């Protein structure tokens, strides 16, 4: 490796060109800082995992699957239609065009702001120094005044199912398929696994979801996840919870799950656990979607005296500072690995590095699963509120009460609102419905503004819309 011996002086460096990184770079430029944005893929990495191989490509596949599903159900509405086939090669070309267009938009913003983009992997050497390796045998020492780390995360591998890019895929590989497999086993029943499983099932793939815990979407309240489990069953997806993969051969996965009591197995419990039942699952392709790991292992953080937790997260304060001259945002910090969280943290980090009072202290951060129905949640669940010692109550309304849902053919889902019993202040909103991802923004605003159920009930919601559910639930809370 050829290393530039003379350090290059830089004002502000941002490592990682994803939503957090490019937002930080743009905000820093607006604040008058000279910014270098470093990404391992250079300009090709603009947008990060989210734009290139994550959020946008996955939602594109979901849109394709939804179009296919709507076409199959259209005859019930009087529209004679049929899906003659799904051409994933054509889809990949279309998806790539959308990604390129969006990436050009971000690149244009960076250019106009005067942000320089450089290819390389950054390693911290000290409080004001770093090394950028371009991956082609060249590297450059950099002396910086300020550094924002936004290096994101990567799919977590399973020892029993190492990624091979052919049969065993991560989410990136699954979203890059150019032909539909006959059978697909998705290992991991979190939001990534559920989204992919729903999409491929709608595209006609024999799909199985394997989850080690006792339920799908274990991070969410059962009232929400149950709606998705019912819909997956209707789509023909086999859901196997409390199940782990033990082996794989050329055709099948071998999984183990509890049966009668008496035996135990690693991953399914300890003494007194149920006996193990082994089963073989046809698996032309296997997708491992058990979570994501923060990209902090190779950053050299110890050399700058920066603490990293056992989970791989960088310890930061409310100002996102890990050291006086270094900030960290996004997936490499504690909390949900969400693009909108990273983007919201970015200006806080930059302001703090600029010496301004700054703190990332949102009242709530909405989370979404693009399943069927979509799930969206913000704030506290009833159980969480009570665990915090709040005298709380909740009201929920099934989707079957919505006229708009009826004409959309949506029958599974509900809206729930949690309030403080003392004054009716909203504490949480949880929605399982079509377009829940769009509906949750107004609920987040309501929580940020500290409104009460009466405020929401008195806000006129248009008819017929799914948003009426929020007002109706709020009205029920004001009557109890």
Cα separation of 436 and 441, whole Å?
9
Domain ranges of the chain: 2-153+293-353, 168-288, 367-479
Which superfamily does 168-288 belong to?
A: FAD/NAD(P)-binding domain (3.50.50.60)
List Cβ neighbours of 33 (8 Å cut-off, separation of 6 or more): 11, 12, 146, 350, 354
Q: Hey, CA dihedral for 423, 425, 428, 431, is it positive or negative?
A: positive
Q: What kind and span of H or E run contains 274?
A: strand 274-282
Closest to 161 measured CA to CA, from 204, 210, 194, 197: 210
Q: Please check whether residue 367 is in contact with residue 336, taking contact to mean a CB–CB distance below 8 angstroms.
A: yes
Q: What is the pLDDT of residues 357-385, one digit of tens each?
A: 999 999 999 999 999 999 999 999 999 99
The yes-or-no answer to whether 168-288 and 367-479 have a common fold is: no
Q: What is the pLDDT of residues 110-123, one digit of tens each?
A: 999 999 999 999 99
Predicted structure pTM score: 0.93
Cα separation of 122 and 15, whole Å?
7
Compute φ and ψ for 462, nearest 5 degrees. -70, 150
Cis peptide before 307 (omega within 30 of 0): no
DSSP-based three-state secondary structure for 260: strand
CATH architecture classification, 367-479: 2-Layer Sandwich (3.30)
- Burial of 82 per CB tally in 10 Å (0-12, 13-18, 19+): exposed
Given CATH 3.50.50.60, say whether it is the number of domain 2-153+293-353: yes
List Cβ neighbours of 108 (8 Å cut-off, separation of 6 or more): none
Mean pLDDT, consecutive 10-residue stretches, the chain (480 aa), reads: 76 98 98 98 97 97 95 89 87 98 98 98 96 91 98 95 95 97 96 98 97 93 91 96 91 82 43 70 95 96 92 97 98 96 98 97 97 97 97 96 94 96 97 97 97 97 97 92
Cis peptide before 464 (omega within 30 of 0): yes
Q: What is the pLDDT of residues 92-105, one digit of tens each?
A: 999 999 999 999 99
- Residues marked active site are found at 463
Parallel, antiparallel or unpaired: strands 321-323 and 129-133: unpaired
Longest Cα–Cα distance in the chain = 73
Which tokens hold the place of 431? 């929605």
Q: What is the pLDDT of residues 103-113, one digit of tens each?
A: 999 999 999 99
275 to each of 97, 266, 278, 318, how far by Cα in Å?
A: 51, 12, 10, 47
35 bridge partner residues: 12
List Cβ neighbours of 51 (8 Å cut-off, separation of 6 or more): 18, 19, 99, 102, 103, 106
Count CA atoms closer than 13 A to 228's CA, side-chain side. Answer: 33
């Amino acid at each position: 490796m050829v290393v530039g011996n003379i350090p290059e002086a830089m004002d502000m460096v941002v490592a990682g060109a994803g939503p957090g990184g490019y937002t930080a770079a743009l905000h820093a430029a607006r604040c008058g800082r000279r910014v270098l944005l470093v990404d391992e893929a250079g300009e090709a990495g603009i947008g990060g995992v989210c734009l290139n191989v994550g959020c946008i490509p996955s939602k594109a596949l979901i849109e394709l699957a939804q179009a296919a599903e709507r076409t199959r159900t259209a005859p019930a509405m009087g529209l004679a239609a049929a899906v003659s086939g799904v051409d994933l090669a054509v889809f990949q070309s279309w998806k790539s065009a959308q990604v390129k267009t969006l990436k050009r938009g971000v690149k244009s913003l960076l250019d106009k702001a005067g942000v320089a983009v450089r290819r390389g992997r950054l390693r911290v050497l000290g409080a004001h120094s770093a090394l950028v390796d371009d991956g082609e045998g060249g590297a450059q020492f950099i002396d910086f005044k300020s550094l924002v780390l936004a290096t994101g995360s990567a799919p977590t591998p399973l020892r029993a199912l190492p990624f091979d890019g052919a049969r065993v895929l991560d989410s990136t590989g699954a979203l890059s398929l150019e032909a539909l497999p006959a059978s697909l086993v998705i290992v991991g029943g979190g939001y990534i696994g559920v989204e992919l499983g729903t999409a491929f099932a709608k595209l006609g793939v024999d799909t199985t979801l394997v989850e080690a815990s006792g339920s799908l979407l274990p991070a969410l309240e059962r009232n929400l996840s149950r709606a998705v489990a019912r819909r997956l069953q209707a789509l023909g997806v086999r859901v196997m919870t409390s199940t782990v993969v033990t082996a794989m051969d050329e055709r099948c996965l071998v999984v183990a799950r509890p049966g009668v009591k008496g035996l135990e197995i690693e991953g399914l419990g300890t003494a007194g656990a149920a006996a193990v039942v082994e089963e073989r699952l046809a698996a032309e392709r296997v997708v491992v979607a058990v979570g994501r790991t923060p990209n902090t292992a190779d950053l050299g953080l110890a050399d700058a005296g920066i603490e990293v937790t056992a989970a791989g997260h960088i310890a930061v304060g409310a100002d996102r500072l890990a050291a006086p001259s270094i900030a960290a945002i996004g997936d490499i910090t504690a909390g949900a690995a969400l693009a909108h969280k990273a983007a919201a943290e970015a200006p806080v980090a930059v302001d703090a590095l600029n010496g301004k009072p700054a703190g990332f202290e949102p009242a709530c951060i909405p989370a979404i699963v693009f399943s069927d129905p979509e799930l969206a949640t913000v704030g506290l669940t009833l159980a969480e509120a009570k665990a915090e010692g709040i005298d709380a109550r909740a009201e929920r309304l099934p989707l079957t009460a919505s006229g708009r849902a009826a004409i959309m053919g949506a029958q599974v889902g509900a809206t729930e609102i949690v309030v403080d019993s003392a004054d009716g202040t909203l504490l949480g909103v949880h929605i399982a419905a079509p377009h829940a991802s769009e509906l949750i923004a107004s609920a987040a605003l309501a929580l940020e503004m500290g409104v009460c159920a009466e405020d929401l009930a008195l806000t006129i919601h248009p008819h017929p819309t799914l948003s009426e559910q929020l007002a109706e639930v709020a009205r029920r809370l004001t009557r109890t």
